[in-house]
Amino acid sequence: MLFRSVTTSVEQWRHDEGCLSFPGVQLEVERPAQVVGRWQHRDGTWEQREFEGWDAKCFQHELEHLQGQVFKQHVSELKYQQAVKRSRR
């Protein structure tokens, strides 16, 4: 499948986020509150859907994985290291 984000809202949503790739680490990440995603199925047909709230956050998070990115890239290295220390307590 080929995935991509078509449009995102101007309105942003800031909330704690975690990732199975970084067990126990929670970071406050700001993302668009709404996103329209589009993907292509194996048979070549395209599908498009609007996501809001938690669904939008999850779609964007997973789309970033497919693009070789991880959620810690949304914060500074200092904020990431502080979150790692908190996760070890």
Query: Pick the catalytic residue: 47, 52, 62, 77?
Result: 62
**Cα(7)–Cα(13) distance, integer angstroms:** 15
**Is 64 tagged catalytic?**
no
Distance CA 22, CA 42 (A): 31
85's enclosing H/E stretch is helix 77-87
CA 6 to chain centroid, in Å, comes to 15
Residues with a catalytic annotation lie at: 62
